[in-house]
Amino acid sequence: MTPALIAARTRLGLVACLLGLASLGWWWTVGQMQGMDEGPWSALGTLGWFMAVWVVMMAAMMFPSLAPTVALYARMARATPWSPPFFVAGYLVTWAAVGAVAFGIAAAAGSGAGGVLAWERAGRWAAAGTLIAAAIYELTPLKDACLGRCRSPLGFLLGAWRGGRLGPLRMGIHHGAWCVGCCWALMAAMFALGVMNVIWMAFVAGLIAVEKTLPWRRVATYGSAALLLALGVALAVSPGAVPGLTIPGGMASMGT
């Protein structure tokens, strides 16, 4: 067997491993989320529990679209087989930091807002506004720049290459930062719809995968913006008509 064939099979195995981990992440997350969905601004539990679920969620949602970048990186760093796992670990470190910040914001809002974000008060309108803001962000130059980095792994890897033992970890953190710039608004939309709702988790994961892999980049981002805008308007006007939405203090909407 030639070295090239061995390298190709190694990269294929790496991609399969990432997809397998994503599948396990979905399976585990679905089990953890059963009975946890309380609708928009769902309670996040303790910091330790939330962070564990959050990191597994990120692996489940992001690994399929991350796999091509990791495979290309493995090809470029073939002399150091430990590099791809370090790269992936750095990527998850960035998203773990985002989860910690999100938990802190949610905790501060819950304790310091005097219940203003309760569904029957401003919660409904805050959720609708978050979705509309996410739709607007989809069309901004910053979103376009971050998405371009995610969709062009070769350009990113050449521009951000770092050597040494910590190089892969730093590169993974760097790539994760671009991914956060690309996807933070979609994650905010997931919180607004119910972060413990598997339906909305899958919806956001689908949007991320489409935006990062669909050849028609503008179609993907404009389509995501249209969907988020429609959901935001529907949430403000008639939340009971939003499929899969759990209304706090009430029944799930007619779409479930």
- Listed by start position, the domains of the chain span 3-241
Tracing tokens 């997931």 back to the chain, one arrives at 190
Partners of residue 252 on adjacent β-strands: 246
Partners of residue 246 on adjacent β-strands: 252
One pLDDT digit (tens) per residue for the chain, 256 residues? 554 444 455 566 666 777 788 888 888 887 777 777 666 766 777 888 889 889 998 998 898 888 888 888 888 877 577 788 899 999 999 999 999 998 888 777 666 555 666 677 777 888 899 999 999 999 999 999 999 888 888 888 888 888 777 889 999 999 999 999 999 999 998 888 887 888 888 889 888 888 888 888 888 899 999 999 999 999 888 887 787 777 776 545 544 4
- How far from 131 is each of 6, 120, 148, 159, CA to CA, in Å? 46, 18, 22, 33
- How far from 189 is each of 35, 90, 157, 185, 192, CA to CA, in Å? 20, 24, 29, 6, 5
Question: CB-based burial of residue 110 (10 Å sphere; 0-12 exposed, 13-18 middle, 19+ buried)?
Answer: middle
Q: What is the pTM of this model?
A: 0.82
